[in-house]
Structure 1
Amino acid sequence: MVDIISRKDGPRREDAAAKRLIENNRATITHLADRLTQGGYSAGIAAKRAAAAPPPLSGRLIHDLAPGDRRRAEGGKPQIKISLNDRVVAYDGDSGRQLHLLGMIRHEAQTRYFALATKENGFISALPDDVLAPLAELDGQIIDKACPESLLAEEIAERLGYA
């Protein structure tokens, strides 16, 4: 048995130079290999890559874009939250998934008020009728010491039957 003791770790200088030479001339080497094997070299590499790649998805991809009321029927406990950027949302307490954007708390001339998510208030898509009807009276509700954000969230939850 022979033990070889080397002064330094890592590849030798000659090995590193040979590896650099091969990498710098990879296109020429591949071209010559294809010429010699009549394209078999690249075909073999492509077959190995295809075997290692995950199989392509067959069929159609299905994305669930169902409205919140259908998700609510599947389970979870809906809750109301007023976020730091003054958005009022209904979300699933179990998954954290947003069910509805109910509106925003807007600021206008030293007053804060609740703007319900309707086209008249500048929202792109309005709420479904079953959510909009119970909350219609709260549109324009002033937010101050008499009616803080927490009281607004409780009132919305009660009107929508989340409480």
Structure 2
Amino acid sequence: MVDIISKRDGPRREDERARHMIQANRGAITQIADHLTQGGYSASRRAKAEASNAPPPESGRRFHDLSSGARLGPESGDVRVKVSVNNRVVAYDSGSGRQMHLLGEIRRQQGTRYFALATRENGFLSGLPDEMAGKIAELDGQIIDQACPESLLAGEIADRLGLS
């Protein structure tokens, strides 16, 4: 299946011609693929078809959910807080490694490192949800030094958000 992403509403003429040519020559393409893989192409397609118990899509369209608020499946692990190498403070799913929320970042001003909460006032494009921001708003501007290292900040944020 070929997914073609275009700014126009309908398919382009070139795309329709290419799709029609591929469909018209599907048998020859499969035969060449089987010849090159010594029958492995058709065997793998049969195995995938037998293993797949999912019903076919109703409209033939595929939807890809790329939003940050997508639901987690049962295979996901617990949510943790960490300070990444590029000084971003994030909440992430430890099972999939997927970032759940950008909580803020460690910034430097006049030689002092501090935590900046992810709010519009601090220059972030989109802030945290109000219920999360309210729980850790007190940490906005927290100085990061030997008395309060990054690991202690991450632990405090996790405690306040109920993630630990």
Q: How would you bin the TM-score normalised by the shorter chain?
A: 0.5 to 0.7
Query: Number of aligned pairs?
Result: 118
TM-score by length of 2: 0.62
Q: Is the 8 A contact 1:114 1:141 kept in 2?
A: yes
Cα distance change on mapping 1:81 and 1:72 into 2, 3 Å: farther
Give, in whole Å, the separation in 2 of the partners of 1:70 and 1:152: 27
Cα distance change on mapping 1:159 and 1:47 into 2, 3 Å: closer
- Which residue is 1:102 aligned to? 103
- Which residue is 1:46 aligned to? 25
Give, in whole Å, the separation in 2 of the partners of 1:63 and 1:115: 32
Tell me the amino acid that sits aligned with residue 99 of structure 2: Q
Greater Rg, structure 1 or structure 2? 1
Shift of 1:66: 4.8
Q: Is the 8 A contact 1:103 1:117 kept in 2?
A: yes
Moved over 6 A (4+): none
- In structure 1, stretches of 5+ residues that fail to align are 1-41
1:84 aligns with 2:63: no
TM-score by length of 1: 0.62
Shift of 1:131: 1.4
Give, in whole Å, the separation in 2 of the partners of 1:73 and 1:126: 27
- Which residue is 2:158 aligned to? 157
CA RMSD of aligned residues (A): 2.9
Answer with 124-133 or 83-92: which moved more.
124-133
Give, in whole Å, the separation in 2 of the partners of 1:160 and 1:69: 19
- Which residue is 2:54 aligned to? none
CA offsets, 1:64-119, max 9 Å, x none? 34544843898520001101110101000111111001110000101000001111
Structure with the higher fraction of residues in helix conformation: 1
Q: Is the 8 A contact 2:106 2:115 kept in 1?
A: yes
